[in-house]
Structure 1
């Protein structure tokens, strides 16, 4: 009896080990891994949408080829291909960060046997483009002609610094008088900001029958209207004039207006102060107030 049970247990263990072995050696693809783990790794929102696009592009570069080991050579192939597509180092870093997170999860779960060494590429500290008041006036007028809803959306974005996904994900219950709370954020942490008078007016003019003031906006259609409008007002040749420039403009105006960097960080919902420091040079004029302080403190 003991012998029979022992042999049965042995064959059961052997079957389990062979099953595990088959699982660990089975090939997969980036798209398959994304479908398996995207809801586990990323919360709903614009960031999840961007990550899905990034991984889809990387899978396309690899021709959807299955693998069990993700090698340094495969990583080099991706970086080289992205550079040929004129991706900046900053953009490549964002795509590689998404890839690294996905592969680390897959490796932990036994779907991938080995991982490459991810090295962050050096990014250029380029000038951040933001809209001047006259550019805003011309661009917004052109957008309003195409859609009043899109025009109101632009006003809301530039006066709150919200990302597109945060704006379209806004619900009526998230608005309390002259204050709004964003729950679907890139960092996963909610934040609340006060509204300007024109932002309040833009929201109040929206359709109350929808889930949120801007929930009916499809980002692809909005971007298409944006590109048409910027062509019409003479900004078509500037690659940095994309909808995200409204967030940059909000941050730049806060800093130029004398708001300290820490408060701007909180307003934008940046996870680190380093991200907000990109706008710090715009406050250099405020250093003039330091001179009288030093002169008064100096000995006669």
Structure 2
């Protein structure tokens, strides 16, 4: 394994761990597509950041994207609670009109400017080794993205470890959580804030599609294999890391997109779990059906 391959796989693994852990809670809350919503809804934040700062520097754009990510999660919950719109419909309505607003802002105010929103929204993980962090003494510390995602991953791990009980209760039984004094709204916004942080920090380098795939796929695969949340969290992280490793070498073999190959491996993992899961797989359910079906009495 050469150094570039190591950095690419490391980046994919860090994104997979942070996204997969949060994805488990999104799956349990039936809000799996929040990551996709945020990755599209932040477009007006990118444009507004450019209009106010007058620069296309990536950190200002990411700040604007993060702010709109928080606004997106607030609106999703607002429409769901106040207008009593189902959660999936609230997600769909929010991210489509925010994305459309971003397109209008680009057309009206930034149409003549080389505003590379595609670079921020749909980055390519294969380019990660090119953006290295070099100190004043000339020492290369590796890609900036790896350091940034390492920091985000540590924050997510600390968040889940320290507040596991609150996240567990508000995800499985919000009524009981509210009855014992835990604010379900507060923990919803904290969880969505963590999702927004991870999504915005990730998609600039690995691409919006891969972020969504890593947030939903490994968690959904783990969901089919266990009924214990702690085991689900561990399996989700493992499946994401395996997909990052195998996806890179699949892309190398096919001479294709790394992000696309990783997403394909995630899909294959889910398919295998869907078919062969000991409890929820097609094979085990069919075997259980055959065993429990009463046989006709012989003459």
- The reply to whether TM is greater than 0.5 is no
Bigger-Rg structure (1/2):
1
Higher helix content, 1 or 2: 2
Structure with more relative contact order (C-alpha pairs < 8 Å, separation 6 or more): 2
Shorter-normalised TM-score: what interval? under 0.3
TM-score by length of 2: 0.24
